[in-house]
Amino acid sequence: MLAYLRFTACLSAVLAAMHARASEPARPMSTDRPDTTESPYTVPAGMFQIEASFFDYSRDSADGNRLREWSWSEINFKAGLARDVDLQVILSAWNESVLTRRGGSERLSGVSDVTVRLKTNLLGNDEGRSAFGLMPYVTIPSGSGVSADAWQGGLIAPFAFEVNDRVSLGLMAEADLVYDEDTGGHDLEWLHSATVGIALTEPLGMYLELVGIAGEDTNYQGIFNAGLTFAVSDDLVFDAGVRIGLNRPAPDFGVFTGVSFRF
């Protein structure tokens, strides 16, 4: 926890220094949460955005084993570096997992590893109905208790299309190098997703999403996600959602809530 607080203090100091940059006219706020499908739109230059989950809970049961996982205060700090580029730093204040077997249970807890991402918009950041971006990332083995104890990374490619003023579509492809504890090496993992966002009223929106995950040594996982967003203002949005596994390899169920704001 002390390491987390020190990191947060250092990051806040860096962001405060960067705020001296002249800001460009702000485009509408676009967030990477709450769905799995990331946004191709970046944070405007000179602005900062925080996307945080208050809590995230998931459970899964298979072969007589039950896994429960909790995450509190996962935060994505974003800074607009240029017109079409933003920097993101993601970490979770506290994570906990409990694996229950017939012979007993195992509990792990601690601070998550830090993930650093650099998003570049290549199309439609400020005009047009479609947008596309690329976002490479690296995960640093800096956590405690729940750390992967290895470097990981990948590339994310999000696409968005505005059907009309009330309906938008999102697609994403992602390739990840994931650490394999059994071999001590890295496995290639693929993720694809499709989401539809619907404006129910001016402040209230919803989304429906399908996610698929495949790996070299893992079975394909199909997941259905759904959630609501509530915009208090143009720069403050609350959200809540659920995840439901569609096949046996996928986690059974998850629920979360969070907030996004910028300044």
**pLDDT tens figures, 59-106:** 999 888 999 999 999 999 999 999 999 999 999 989 999 999 887 889
105: tokens are 């249970």
pLDDT at 244 over 70: yes
**pLDDT tens figures, 5-46:** 455 555 554 445 445 444 456 899 999 999 999 999 999 999
What is the reported pLDDT for 64? 85
What is the reported pLDDT for 241? 98
31: tokens are 């967030």
What is the reported pLDDT for 110? 93
The answer to whether 121 touches 154, Cβ cutoff 8 Å, is no
Looking at residue 6, the DSSP 8-state letter turns out to be H
What domains lie within the chain, and their CATH numbers? 2-22+33-262 (2.40.128.130)
pLDDT at 4 over 50: no
Where does the pLDDT of residue 231 fall: very low under 50, low under 70, confident under 90, or very high at 90 and above? very high
What is the reported pLDDT for 22? 44
Looking at residue 181, the DSSP 8-state letter turns out to be T
**pLDDT tens figures, 113-127:** 999 999 999 999 999
Tell me the average pLDDT across 151-171.
98
Torsion of CA 34, 53, 187, 189, to 10 degrees: -10
Provide the residue type at 82 as one letter: A
User: How far is C-alpha 96 from the chain's CA centre?
Assistant: 18
| Residue 127 three-state SS | coil
Cα–Cα distance for residue pair 88/43, rounded to 1 Å: 10
* Close Cβ partners of 226 (under 8 Å, ≥ 6 residues apart): 206, 207, 208, 209, 241, 242, 244
Tell me the average pLDDT across 243-253.
97
Tell me the average pLDDT across 255-261.
98
Cα–Cα distance for residue pair 120/173, rounded to 1 Å: 15
Per the listing, tokens 């676009």 go with 30
**pLDDT tens figures, 166-218:** 999 999 999 999 999 888 899 999 999 999 999 999 999 999 999 999 998 88
Cα–Cα distance for residue pair 232/253, rounded to 1 Å: 28
| Residue 83 three-state SS | coil
